[in-house]
């Protein structure tokens, strides 16, 4: 079920809905404002309650919206308000105008520097949330937004509902987006922060290559790829990538959670090293410098310049003359005392 545009011009809670910004499954995102505020400057995500499990859906949404609203990080999209109105749940967020990561990927693979910058910002947001017990569960390019300055914001923490993503309705009991799901997510297991790191790995793979690592004709076929399929070499899709990227993504997309990176920051750091270490000249170690110095041949001294030879000769003659004079004085004194 996709909500129609009957809401435009109406209200959800105290907010007036001015225009539709986007649609996803059972949710719509609207441009909104508070009455009397003039220019619309808010974004509201509105979800229609399903008839089957309204109480459970409402309880989960309100609990997780409350947790998300407490997250304060420069790269997490701020949540200002949330609630329920006329059988619809809503979430009020900051309005930003730079588009989504999905729109950037649609134009082709991103440059390595852009990938590194986006991952650094998103990784910081994700580690911050994990440290506060919040798991995202639905990291995907559509949930990474940009402001006018190009800074990335991670949105929709923990509020993705079953059926909120394309294809999810074909996998009963599944929550999230199949194309980015971790193996444990595909098995319906309880999720941990390492599940978010896997889905972030899928997003990074897609940023670098312009394509998803695991694909299939049905959601279940994609799930099987997540569960048992080997990670495709990203350099097959983008030969310009340095060799080290393959090992980084293999670790990020490991089937076993314990084999993955322990934090988003460690994943980001490993990718940065893989992307840039090949282009930096190798710095010699202290041991290598010492070995090179010891291997230098010892050269015999060259001929002494004429001017220097003349100065040395004059000094030697002066010393000899002084010694002779001292010897003559000593001899004269001895003869005098002998008489």
Secondary structure percentages of the chain, helix, strand, coil, to 5: 45, 15, 40
- C-alpha torsion sign, points 278, 283, 287, 288: positive
Contact (CB, 8 A) for 155 and 144: yes
Q: Does domain 98-279 have CATH number 1.10.510.10?
A: yes
The domain ranges of the chain are 7-95, 98-279
- How far apart CA 271 and CA 223 sit, in angstroms, is 26
Dihedral of the CA atoms 135, 138, 142, 143 (nearest 10)? -10
CB 180 within 8 A of CB 197: no
Which residues are catalytic, by number? Answer: 138
What is residue 156's predicted lDDT score, i.e. its pLDDT?
A: 85
**One pLDDT digit (tens) per residue for the chain, 339 residues:** 344 567 888 888 899 999 988 876 567 889 998 987 777 789 998 887 766 677 877 887 888 788 888 899 999 999 999 988 888 889 999 999 999 999 999 999 999 999 999 999 999 999 999 999 899 999 999 999 999 999 999 998 865 433 333 333 344 456 779 999 999 999 999 899 999 999 999 999 999 999 999 999 999 999 999 999 999 999 999 999 999 999 999 999 999 999 999 999 999 999 999 998 765 444 444 444 344 444 444 455 555 556 656 666 777 777 767 777 777 777 676 766 665
- Number of neighbours of residue 311 by Cβ within 10 angstroms: 11
DSSP H stretches of helix in 171-229: 183-186, 193-209, 219-228
Q: What whole-number distance in Å separates Cα of residue 105 and Cα of residue 98?
A: 14
Which is nearest to 212 in space by CA: 227, 193, 225, 195? 225
Its CATH class, for the domain covering 7-95, is alpha beta
- The tokens describing 186, both together, are 């595909």
Predicted model pTM = 0.74
Q: Are the C-beta atoms of 191 and 182 separated by less than 8 Å?
A: yes
Q: What is the total residue count of the chain?
A: 339
Token look-up 């997003």 returns: 203
DSSP secondary structure letters along 85-128 = ETTEEEEEEE---S-BHHHHHTT-PPPHHHHHHHHHHHHHHHHH
């Amino acid at each position: 079920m996709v909500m129609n545009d009957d809401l435009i011009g109406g209200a959800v809670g105290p907010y007036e809905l001015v225009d539709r910004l986007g649609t996803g499954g059972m949710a719509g995102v609207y441009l909104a404002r508070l009455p009397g505020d003039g220019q619309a400057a808010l974004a509201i995500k509105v979800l229609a309650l399903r008839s089957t499990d309204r109480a459970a859906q409402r309880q989960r949404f309100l609990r997780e919206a409350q947790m998300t609203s407490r997250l304060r990080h420069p790269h997490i999209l701020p949540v200002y308000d949330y609630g329920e109105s006329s059988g619809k749940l809503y979430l009020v967020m900051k309005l930003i105008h730079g588009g989504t990561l999905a729109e950037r990927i649609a134009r082709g693979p991103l440059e390595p520097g852009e990938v590194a910058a986006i991952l650094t910002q998103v990784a910081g947001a994700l580690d911050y949330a994990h440290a506060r017990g919040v798991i995202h569960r639905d990291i995907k390019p559509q949930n990474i937004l940009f402001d006018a300055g190009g800074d990335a914001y991670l949105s929709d923490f923990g509020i993705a509902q079953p059926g909120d993503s394309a294809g999810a309705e074909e996998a009963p009991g599944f929550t999230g987006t199949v194309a980015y799901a971790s193996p444990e997510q595909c098995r319906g297991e309880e999720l941990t922060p390492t599940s978010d790191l896997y889905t972030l790995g899928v997003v990074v793979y897609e940023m670098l290559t312009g394509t998803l690592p695991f694909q299939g004709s049905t959601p279940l076929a994609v799930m099987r790829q997540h569960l048992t399929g080997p990670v495709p070499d990203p350099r097959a899709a983008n030969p310009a990538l340095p060799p080290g990227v393959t090992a980084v993504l293999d670790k990020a997309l490991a089937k076993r959670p314990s084999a993955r990176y322990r934090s988003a920051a460690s994943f980001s750091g490993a990718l940065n090293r893989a992307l840039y270490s090949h282009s930096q000249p190798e710095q010699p170690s202290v041991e290598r410098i010492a070995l090179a110095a010891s291997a230098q041949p010892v050269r015999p001294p060259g001929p002494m310049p004429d001017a220097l030879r003349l100065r040395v000769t004059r000094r030697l003659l002066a010393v000899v003359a002084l010694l002779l004079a001292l010897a003559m004085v000593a001899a004269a004194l001895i003869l005098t005392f002998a008489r």
